[in-house]
Every structure is written in structure tokens, then in C-alpha cells.
Amino acid sequence: MAYETIIVDVEDHVAQITLNRPDALNALNDELMSELANALTAAQNNDKVRCIILTGSEKAFAAGADISMMKDKSFVEVFSGDLFTAETEEIMRVRKPIIAAVSGYALGGGCELAMMCDFIICSETAKFGQPEINLGVVAGLGGTQRLTRLVGKSKAMDMNLTGRFMDAEEAERSGLVSRVVPCKKLMDEAHGAAQRIAEKSMVSVMVVKEAVNRAYETTLREGLLFERRMFHSLFATEDQKEGMSAFVEKREAQFRDR
């Protein structure tokens, strides 16, 4: 499928989706969000894809929702249209892992989009922020919710109230990103992580994603029960037999997603 605002490459079981509105620092408009949701659903439905990487350019992952597009909208228009809600719901339905590879600006909706991914690897030039307060609004896609769960109340308040940017070093220290690498190595690092994931049993991979995400939705007791029952359930798979036999036989496991 041909897209206007994103580029999709599928190679070696990894789908790389690159946001591509360079003139607007990949600002999120209706077309981009619709194409992105569409491409992610296509990756979910493509049996060849085992992991997804979402990235932008060296200068910007995404500088937020498109301000020119939103500027003249009325309350009724944004409320009735529920700006980007359908698209983000679709993104949240993807069960395969999504790695955000962030270089440059990840601001507002861009930072929120990165946080919707399963983990973030960033380059040393990355800058994260929720500057919506400077526009007379507030975050609308998780900047007060996901960011708070990821970095805690104090930093989330600071970021959302002052609109200041967090650099890569602070983002790693705060738990917002899992790894920081030099700019030139960003995509190699992301693809390396994606390849490692692609080698696992897809069943276990999807269970990990569900279980970790459940930690944000439920109590510790319920979350632990869910995890334990999923652990038990995996003994019904051939991949559990293969994985444990391979360990005992001192060979590489050959998972078949069964």
C-alpha cells in the first residue's frame, strides 16, 4: 500500500515504519495518524512481521500534533471528532511489540506516541517534552497519564507545567527510555533489539506484552495472578518443550509459534 506521510519497510521479520513529514518535523495530522494506524494493523496481520519499529528522522521523531491543523478548531469539533482517539485505540490493539526509535524532538503528541510503543530506544540528541501548556492547552494523548506512570509525579508535573524538554540522559535516568545510543547507531540498535525479539516464540512475546501492560491497569495481586497463570498456560505450547529441551541439550531453540 502506498502512503503519503509514512514509509513502511518489511525485512527479516521486522516492519520499520518511518514518520515522513519532514517539512513539519513529522507533526501528527489526520492523514499521518490514519496511515500509521493502518500500517500498524497491516503489520499485526502480516505473518512475516514479528516486531515493529516506529521511527522518525534524525531531527524529529515527531514535534507533536499539527498545530496548524488544530489552531482554528472549536470545542465541539475536537470533542465530536475526538481527535486521534480512534487511531490511538487502533495502535493500542496491536499485539506485536513496537519499539520506538527516537532521535531529535519527541514533543507533545510525539512524546505520547513514543510512550504508546512498548519501549523506547533513543539517540543522544533526543529531546522529550509536553509543551502543550505553552499553547494554552494540555497534553491529550497520555502526557499526564503515561508519563506520570513512567517517570513519577514530580517529573511529570515539571514537564507538563513548565513545558521544558528532557534530554536523553535525563530520560534514561528517569526510566522513560530503555537505552541511549549515539545518533548514528540508533537504527542498528533498534533493529538488533527487534531481531532478538523476532527469534523468540511469538506466543511468549505476546504474553510478555500483555502481562507488562497489565501492570498499569490492575492491582499487584491481580497482575501477579495473571502472570502466573500465563506462565502455567505456556506449558501447553510446543515452544515451551522446545525451549527447555534445547537448553538441556545445549543447542539453540527453534521456536515455531506453537
Catalogue the active-site residues: 65, 109, 112, 132
* Residue of 162, 127, 126, 157 lying closest to 144 (CA atoms): 157
**Which among 24-32, 177-185, 226-234, 247-255 is the span making contact with ligand HXC, rule CB under 6 A?**
24-32
Backbone phi, then psi, for 159, in 5-degree steps? -65, -45
Which three three-digit cell numbers place residue 86? Answer: 480512534
The least CB distance from residue 164 to ligand HXC, in Å, is 12
The least CB distance from residue 126 to ligand HXC, in Å, is 12
Cα 153 to Cα 147: distance, rounded to the nearest angstrom? 9
Number of residues near ligand HXC (by CB under 6 A): 20
**Which among 135-143, 153-161, 196-204, 228-236 is the span making contact with ligand HXC, rule CB under 6 A?**
135-143
* Residue of 133, 220, 123 lying closest to 181 (CA atoms): 123
Strand partners for 52: 15, 98
For ligand HXC, the closer CB: 78 or 230: 78
- Nearest 5°: the CA angle 23, 25, 31 is 80
- The answer to the question of residue 105 lying near ligand HXC (CB under 6 A) is yes
**Residue found by looking up cell 521523531 in the block:** 61
220-233 and 202-214 helices, crossing angle to 10°:
170
The least CB distance from residue 37 to ligand HXC, in Å, is 14
Instruction: Pick one of 96, 140, 151, 207: the residue that binds ligand HXC (CB under 6 A).
Output: 140
For ligand HXC, the closer CB: 130 or 174: 130
What would the x/- binding string for ligand HXC be over residues 60 to 79, using CB under 6 A? ---xxxxxx-----------
For ligand HXC, the closer CB: 51 or 107: 107
The least CB distance from residue 163 to ligand HXC, in Å, is 8
**Which among 34-42, 105-113, 194-202, 214-222 is the span making contact with ligand HXC, rule CB under 6 A?**
105-113
- The answer to the question of residue 109 lying near ligand HXC (CB under 6 A) is yes
**Residue found by looking up cell 487502533 in the block:** 90
The least CB distance from residue 148 to ligand HXC, in Å, is 16
The set of residues, in sequence order, having a beta carbon less than 8 Å from that of 245 and lying 6+ positions away, is none
> Hey, how many other C-beta atoms are within 10 angstroms of the C-beta on 244?
12
Cα 71 to Cα 206: distance, rounded to the nearest angstrom? 39
For ligand HXC, the closer CB: 97 or 143: 143
**Residue found by looking up cell 527447555 in the block:** 244
- The answer to the question of residue 97 lying near ligand HXC (CB under 6 A) is no
- The answer to the question of residue 128 lying near ligand HXC (CB under 6 A) is no
Cα 98 to Cα 118: distance, rounded to the nearest angstrom? 5
Cα 65 to Cα 185: distance, rounded to the nearest angstrom? 27
Residues near ligand HXC (CB under 6 A)? 24-25, 27, 63-68, 83-84, 105, 107-109, 131-132, 135, 140-141
